[in-house]
Structure 1
């Protein structure tokens, strides 16, 4: 199976299509609808999220179309036998013609704050839900983890994304690499992702090379020499056999001037003790570590005195606790609506996030209505697409990376900590609270 751009419109859940068909049958498919994408709660031990994935969301919306072949394929399923011809007509005629409001990528957000809002004809706003959740939820997770890794490792550490082989799909690996770089990592080993993003891929070697050349050419030392001959700028992986013995051999070459070593990598064992021993032997050589590392393990290594200059992040970066973002209707044909199910209540109306600072530190967020006037506050949601057309070119990774760093730096220490973080207080404006109470009185509310 493969995913092509022309397939984007069909990359959705069946119920999006059946709901759109129902809307068309009832003659309400063109009613203006507003849906907001947000997370009801943050993943466990997360004090914040870093919004990511908007660039791919806008690219998707720009290319959203149904071809005659796709419509025929839907008809052949037999599922839509009873729908009106109006449904097939809107699929054949329409792309996405709505507006999109969103926070810039790299922005710190908290529970119940919309990362994005779609304002479009009801059938369009409904059909795009699945893809938007897919890309924003995943990239937001990876960007947040990358930001946390950068925060605990420090600005001086080199952080490399090595997660392609553990990502959930080839497409997921590209999104993970992008989000990791935008979230604060320095480089990725994913060649396709790096080249598509205008970056330079980064990597070392695997144990297989050391074992193969050692077996065929006589020793680990010869394996290092051979690889270094072709790639003198790449770190050498020195823990295939005896880490300390390998470091001693390399120290002799470095001290004699025979080799200029740019780095060594440790992938196993007691990283604290081994890194200290390697540092004593190769005092001027950067030491990289890898092997199922995450922000908690990096914190532990630093506290224990490990001599590590950079980290390769893979499995635990590109997998883990999901961001459980949801996409909920908040207004239809000018009528505010809300969900009142137990534990899943939503706020009605089109909303804005108003952020206030003391100096460069975040003070408080206020969740209010779009119609409110900010008082010495910064509105976060911006109009990024109008009538289906993007208003600005995509931002560069460096711009998003700088924003991420500034956003994390602005957060309170208790929000940034790994253990039992305290999220930033989000106040509900009086206007929004009044709308909640008014909407709850309406007999048509979802229970």
Structure 2
């Protein structure tokens, strides 16, 4: 176990520790009974008695065999910056019937300089009934850490474990993308989910704020709304696109895309299945490629995946190739993901062979749409060509289990063992 000591303003450690990521994590993020007990301890003259508490859980989540420990960094940040403001103390006094002013003076002097925390390393695999943290210090102060510590560890460990389980099912070679911000339980749920899914084995997030806060790689393309917002290729005003090496320019990229679509429709690779594609979709893809020629990844299921989305994507990808760019790939957000990914890969490989386009068949296929570990496992058993999974709701809400159930128990007081 690692031993961590943090004094107020970092005096003991020789450095200042940043505060918690969420500014709402203050000493008032507590259950009322922590303050009533602190007051009762103080009244009895017991507030400084040396106590030891263990934080642990009783059962692995999701019916599994392990848990990933997470949330320690935020606990240390909270500990290092623990200090009640005058405004907070006034609120506590008003919330405790008959609270004496001398207790408020006691609260003003509180910090965590006498607290010791022994902890398992964050990100470790842990098991039931083994202490994740052991907290030692004055009993009244340690009680004031209970609810914040449980709050910071319970969800963090639960969602990190959920992420690790998805990683195990998907395998090491697949990209896992966390797409859960819009379905998370509020802003803090979204930020925490992104952080701890990354810790649990995900590769990137769609959450821009989490990317800024934690340096997590960002991934994202466009929505169905972007595709359906276009009506025709005539809406594209600026049609010019410079080549990837900057040495030349295509004055009419739209015409190049149309030429590429005709080439694909007439190729033997299409087997005659591509006839008239949706031109509003083609306009959307073309516009997006003009904006992001080096990072073109298209959502291809707004209309018909195989008859419109895939050929329209290939036309734009082929036009980009003419200018030295390589399209990234596609995203599938509905339908039979195993079948569609397999058929898309076959077509990409066929076009690569016929038109001699290096690595065209290796473009990334991303799948999304309410995925969870069971659906990923089913896809693996069925066989698919998906390279990346975008997972949101079931991941960040931990739909299969609402809480981990960590507890905070007194195990020693004044060198005397205690157990409930």
Deviation at 1:55, TM superposition (A): 0.5
1:49–1:144 contact (8 Å) kept in structure 2: yes
Aligned position for 2:258: none
CA distance in 1, matches of 2:49, 2:310: 69
Deviation at 1:198, TM superposition (A): 2.3
What is the Cα-based RMSD across aligned positions, in Å?
A: 1.8
SS of the counterpart of 1:55?
A: helix
- TM-aligned CA distance change 1:253 to 1:4, over 3 Å: closer
The worse-fitting range, judged by mean Cα deviation, of 86-95 and 207-216 is 207-216
Partner of 1:229: 290
The answer to whether residue 366 in structure 2 is matched with residue 288 in structure 1 is yes
Deviation at 1:209, TM superposition (A): 0.7
Bigger-Rg structure (1/2)? 2
C-alpha distance in structure 2 between counterparts of 1:128 and 1:116, whole Å: 12
Q: Check 1:234–1:169 CA distance in 2 against 1; reply closer, same or farther (3 A cut).
A: farther
Q: Normalization by structure 2: what TM-score?
A: 0.76
Q: 1:108-187 to 2 correspondence within 5 Å?
A: 108-187=125-204
CA distance in 2, matches of 1:102, 1:174: 24
Aligned partners of 1:109 and 1:83: how far apart in 2? Answer: 42
Go from structure 1 to structure 2 and tell me whether the alpha carbon gap of 1:168 and 1:196 turns closer, same or farther (over 3 Å shift): same
Structure 2 gaps of 5+ residues are 1-20, 236-278, 350-360
Q: What SS is found at the alignment partner of 2:157? A: helix
Q: Report deviation, 1:192.
A: 1.2
1:88 matched residue in structure 2? 104
In the alignment, which residue of structure 2 is the partner of 1:200? 217
Equivalent position of 2:245 in the other structure: none
1:35 corresponds in structure 2 to 53
Residue in 2 that maps onto 1:306: 384
Which residues in structure 2 correspond to 1:61-72 (within 5 Å)?
61-72=79-90
Task: Specify whether residues 288 and 83 from structure 1 end up closer, same or farther in structure 2 by C-alpha distance, changes over 3 A only.
Answer: same
Query: Which SS does the other structure have where 1:328 is aligned?
Result: strand
Superposed structure 1 runs of 4+ greater than 6 Å apart: none
Q: Which residue of 1 aligns with 2:312?
A: 249
Scaled by the length of structure 1, what TM-score is found? 0.72
Give the whole-Å Cα distance in 2 for the aligned partners of 1:312 and 1:323: 24
> In the aligned structure 1, how far is the partner of 2:312 from the partner of 2:296?
17
Name the CA shift for 1:65/1:85 in 2 (closer, same or farther; >3 Å). same
User: Once the 2 structures are TM-superposed, how far is the Cα of residue 6 of structure 1 from its aligned partner?
Assistant: 7.2
Cα deviations by residue, 1:192-244 (Å, 9 ceiling, x for unpaired): 11111123321121111111124794510110110121123142111111111
Match of 1:240 in 2: 302
Structure 1 residues 4 and 46: CA distance shift in structure 2, 3 A: closer
TM-superposed deviation, 1:255: 4.6
For residues 41-86 of structure 1, the C-alpha deviation after alignment (integer angstroms, 9 at most, x for no partner) is 1224221000011001100111111111111122233xx1323444
Give the whole-Å Cα distance in 1 for the aligned partners of 2:386 and 2:296.
16
Matched, 1:272 2:338: yes
Judge conservation of contact 2:25–2:78 (CA < 8 Å) in 1.
Answer: no
1:329 paired with 2:404, answer: no
- Conservation of the 8 A alpha-carbon contact between 1:25 and 1:84: no
Taking the TM superposition and a 5 Å limit, the aligned residue runs for 1:370-381 are: none
**Counterpart secondary structure, 1:205:** coil
**Greater RCO (CA < 8 Å, at least 6 residues apart):** 1
Aligned match of 1:13: 31
Contact 1:25 1:86 in 2 (8 A): no
